[in-house]
Structure 1
Amino acid sequence: MTVAAEYGGSSRPPAGGEASPEKLLVPVLSAFWDQPESWTLETYRRHEGYEGLRKALAMSPDDVIAYVKDSGLRGRGGAGFPTGMKWQFIPQGDGKPHYLVVNADESEPGTCKDIPLLFANPHALIEGIVIACHAIRAHHAFIYLRGEVVPVLRRLHEAVREAYAAGFLGKNILGSGLDLDVIVHAGAGAYICGEETALLDSLEGRRGQPRLRPPFPAVAGLYACPTVVNNVESIASVPAILTKGKDWFRSMGSEKSPGFTLYSLSGHVASPGQYEAPLGITLRQLLDMSGGMRRGHRLKFWTPGGSSTPMFTDEHLDVPLDYEGVGAAGSMLGTKALQCFDETTCVVRAVTRWTEFYAHESCGKCTPCREGTYWLVQLLRDIEAGRARTADLDKIADIADNINGKSFCALGDGAASPIFSSLKYFREEYEQHITGRGCPFDPAKSTLWADNDAHLGVNA
């Protein structure tokens, strides 16, 4: 894994010149991932751990919310909704218990930032949880983690135990009068439970399916009480904002998308891994500092935010990777999962595999997603095998259009995105499958995901 802590320097180029690619990285969350026992409380406290909490507890809850809101922190789970504003939606004086739920059910294809963060630095999340619960006046917090990642689950349990023993969790935290209990809950591996309302249903012991909204979780969430649902990286970013200041945070990134974030670089690249940089960096810059595509190959297409976001091509290498820049170019920043595919990859095969995933993970609650993803898979398999007709290209576009914006949650939209974007940029390749009666790519060379050498960070 490539860790951003290998690089230092400021986040912005110096006046009058461009910074080297490495200087654009700004390790904060990943600052000491490479140190021995980085996950322990002792290591975390050596790096200003829980100093942000002390500052937050000296402020009123409303002042903490205002501070995070002024920092410009936006949710790192995909939608990019302002974190402070989300906290502000919690009604006060309602006489109901308030809850914080951390969404650690990371399962978007290509996304791999929250799990490494929890594995290497779980106390950043715990400190952020205590600050957030102080702000929204909550006394119970839940971390919903994918049950498959057992080593992370064990490490997170140990970090919570350490926090309790040190007085950062439990009764009267640091003498502030705040009582807080944190529960780590292991999910059962359903992609749909990454959707916040399906996650809440699962946490309550029911089948994970999206809820009808309104009411929104801020009004009637967990156990029908006001609830904030935040992504791991969103909450883990809060302590640094309190410690170093909102102006420091806003000095990075862009005006509307300030701060640092984790980019997950994977696929046919020389050095896949996590790169922590200010929002607004470009894929070209990330590839420059990571050794580029695997030797002898060129970039063909890539995703800016995981497989549920419309794909880009090599003409988008200089698109700023922030919410506004990616949106203006026709896609979504999402979870910042940068999957890069070279010219050996069959676009039809890649889209078919993604669609198979969404069809498998559909909860079945709504007809557009349940039926639409099924029929997309059947047609895409026929196209890939050369059994389809040219009219089937319009048919898959029509089915995707009947899913997009018409399904119960965003899973349907995510399934439709690769269809629309691949037809936009690579329709000719779809036609080659049909007219040529099969895939024009050599199966021996067409590797959908990175080969073993690329996974190991070695140039093929």
Structure 2
Amino acid sequence: MVDSIYRSHIIICGGTGCVSSGCEEVQKALEDELDKQDLTDEINIVETGCHGLCEKGPVMVIYPEGIFYCELQPEDMEELVTEHILKDRIVDRLLYKEPITEEDIPSYQNIDFYEKQQRVVLSNCGRVDPESIKEYIAEDGYQAVGETLTTMTSQEVIDEVKEAGLRGRGGGGFPTGIKWQFAHDSEDDKKYIICNADEGDPGAFMDRSILEGDPHRVIEGMIIAAYAIGASEGYIYVRAEYPLAIERLEKAIEQAEEYGLLGDNLFESGFDFKLQIKKGAGAFVCGEETALMNSIEGKRGMPRPRPPFPAQKGLWGYPSNINNVETYANVPVIINQGADEYSKVGTEDSTGTKIFAITGKIQNTGLAEVPMGITMREIIYDVGGGIMGGKDFKAVQIGGPSGGCLPEEKLDLSVDYDSLIEAGAMMGSGGLVVMDEDTCMVDVAKFFLDFTQSESCGKCTPCREGTKRMLEILKRITAGEGKEGDIELLEELSHHIKSTSLCGLGQSAPNPVLSTIQYFRDEYEAHIYEETCPAGNCQELVAGYVIDEEDCIGCTSCVDVCPVDAIEGEKKEAHVIDTDECINCGSCVDECPVDAISQA
């Protein structure tokens, strides 16, 4: 919200992805150029949160035209101001290009990445200044809190959330309203509301982007939840590796306090609520709610046996409710729209939208919000733009280390909680890693198990020892030392660990192994019985590389990328690979412009 009338508004992404790509330098160059052209008072620059298309950062949108520019550099700003701002000419070379046809797409709304999205929770991200409470209020912010505290009882709030069908967006999808009901019904004078922003999945950045782009929405959802269960204090547990999210949260809390939206007697309702941030040290196990509470209390982040459940005995022994960032961000939407309208999106048992962090071998990596019930094929090909380099799709890992890998025959699966669990995966927090034909699925299982094994707190034996034994087996298999019975032993260990581990980390750790065995058993068998890696990834099982002397043009491209200097040869002469030095990484194969390198 601005106090002046401007000829143009330039929206610059200030999310972590674009910051790492240099958006701050781009913004500084833009400001300098506008000052040079005496345009500072005519152009409004707004730094926002993530626009979603992280692959193309730094990005900006110029309104009122809605022109989307991407992959910007500071040196582009002189041309952009001179041509677009002063002469109303679009700078074609800075436009988004469609991945396959290379067609220029000027309009923000016409980019395929956004076409099948339904940005509800992310509606403000990339549009408003996350450090301005005025801009949030201008977008109906805190209206839901006002309505809740002045017109609804706590039970009516819970009933509305139940009717909306909201399920937890951070794990197994437990119904949010029922969870709130448990905490509401616990009789105690003191209760706590907690936001789990300890986003630890590799490649996941959904919660971080919401906190960076729209922190007030999360605060508003927490206030409503606190009123619903009767909590007067709240904590946002966010990992310290998210400095930008923490900075913007701190400003948002300070602004909410200044506006009387946090503190005592909110909206003269008699309801008091105070909120503070607790920085986590980045342990993956602290995403488990009882381990998270231990960490807030200053103890080591280790899970507690249940029962008692947090709704009965949680933080410092008082009834507590924990949801993740995305779950709370949905709450104001439900109150503003009403449960009936909210539940029209999605499926009968999985209502609303879900945010995914799309990464891996895909054209458009980034953040996407889609309606529940969309197919995996639509996410990967329509939103994600398909597989990089025109290669074939092989699998998608959904749900992070706790999820599973789904093959091509599952691409038309409905993306909802129950369908994914039935297929051997899970929604999780929303990490989505796409893999192509060159991916070794045994190696993928080893990667994720290595992560969860190293993140195990060690409190319970099944997780501490069981995952270690499984990882040893997978390492043997990928090193060409697998033996008959290894697959069956992995399955047996997986089922024991899932059924006997103390917390969700151990209970879900075997999922990547079980799903890859279920859908890619032939790759395990090839590693064990044929001592080959079909994808050519496992170095101990890959035959050495040779260069065809007749095809080699002596360009030295392979020499430049070889990490161990195993290739020799003069320019314009045939090169030779020293097989004793070669580590079979395949970098030379990928780089050779004439396909002169192959396996021996």
Q: Which whole-Å CA distance do the structure 2 matches of 1:374 and 1:200 have between them?
A: 26
* Alignment correspondent of 1:163: 256
Equivalent position amino acid for 1:32 in 2:
N
Q: 1:4 Cα shift?
A: 6.2
Unaligned runs of 5+ in 1: 8-19, 448-460
**Out of 295, 299, 309, which is 1:206 matched to?**
299
- Worse-superposed segment, 184-193 or 42-51: 42-51
**Out of 102, 110, 117, which is 2:210 matched to?**
117
Answering whether residue 551 of structure 2 is matched by residue 421 of structure 1, we say no
Rg larger in structure: 2
Q: Which whole-Å CA distance do the structure 2 matches of 1:78 and 1:445 have between them?
A: 36
Q: Which whole-Å CA distance do the structure 2 matches of 1:152 and 1:21 have between them?
A: 25
Q: 1:292 Cα shift?
A: 1.1
* Alignment correspondent of 2:540: none
* Alignment correspondent of 1:369: 463
Aligned partners of 2:121 and 2:330 also within 8 Å: yes
Query: Structure 1 residues 446, 117: CA separation in 2 closer, same or farther (over 3 Å shift)?
Result: farther
* Alignment correspondent of 1:323: 417
Question: Higher relative contact order by CA 8 Å / sep ≥ 6: 1 or 2?
Answer: 1
- Worse-superposed segment, 26-35 or 351-360: 26-35
* Alignment correspondent of 2:118: 26
Structure 1 length-normalised TM: 0.90
TM alignment of 1:333-412, pairs within 5 A: 333-412=427-506
Q: 1:325 Cα shift?
A: 2.2
Q: Which whole-Å CA distance do the structure 1 matches of 2:536 and 2:289 have between them?
A: 41
* Alignment correspondent of 1:285: 378
Q: Which whole-Å CA distance do the structure 2 matches of 1:133 and 1:408 have between them?
A: 28
TM alignment of 1:58-457, pairs within 5 A: 58=150, 59-92=152-185, 94-286=187-379, 287-437=381-531, 439-443=533-537
SS of corresponding position for 1:300: strand
Instruction: Give structure 1 regions of 4+ aligned residues with deviation exceeding 4 angstroms.
Output: 4-7, 20-23, 443-447
Query: Structure 1 residues 304, 389: CA separation in 2 closer, same or farther (over 3 Å shift)?
Result: same
Equivalent position amino acid for 2:228 in 1:
A
Aligned partners of 1:266 and 1:339 also within 8 Å: yes
- Worse-superposed segment, 223-232 or 28-37: 28-37
Q: 1:186 Cα shift?
A: 0.3
Q: Which whole-Å CA distance do the structure 2 matches of 1:318 and 1:39 have between them?
A: 40
Unaligned runs of 5+ in 2: 1-16, 18-49, 54-60, 67-111, 538-583, 588-600
Q: Which whole-Å CA distance do the structure 2 matches of 1:102 and 1:36 have between them?
A: 23
Structure number having the greater strand percentage: 2
SS of corresponding position for 2:402: coil
Please list the CA deviations of residues 324-349 of structure 1 after superposition, one character each: whole Å capped at 9, or x if unmatched: 22233333222232211101111111
Q: Which whole-Å CA distance do the structure 2 matches of 1:4 and 1:248 have between them?
A: 25
Equivalent position amino acid for 1:422 in 2:
T
Q: Which whole-Å CA distance do the structure 1 matches of 2:535 and 2:420 have between them?
A: 30
* Alignment correspondent of 2:148: 56
- Worse-superposed segment, 137-146 or 291-300: 291-300
Aligned partners of 2:51 and 2:126 also within 8 Å: yes
Q: Which whole-Å CA distance do the structure 1 matches of 2:248 and 2:113 have between them?
A: 33
* Alignment correspondent of 1:453: none
Aligned partners of 2:113 and 2:364 also within 8 Å: no
Aligned partners of 1:270 and 1:290 also within 8 Å: yes
Q: 1:377 Cα shift?
A: 1.5
Equivalent position amino acid for 2:124 in 1:
F
Percent identity reads: 39
Q: Which whole-Å CA distance do the structure 2 matches of 1:3 and 1:151 have between them?
A: 16
SS of corresponding position for 2:499: coil
Aligned partners of 1:4 and 1:30 also within 8 Å: no
SS of corresponding position for 2:453: helix
Aligned partners of 1:75 and 1:231 also within 8 Å: yes
Instruction: Give the aligned CA root-mean-square deviation in angstroms.
Output: 2.1
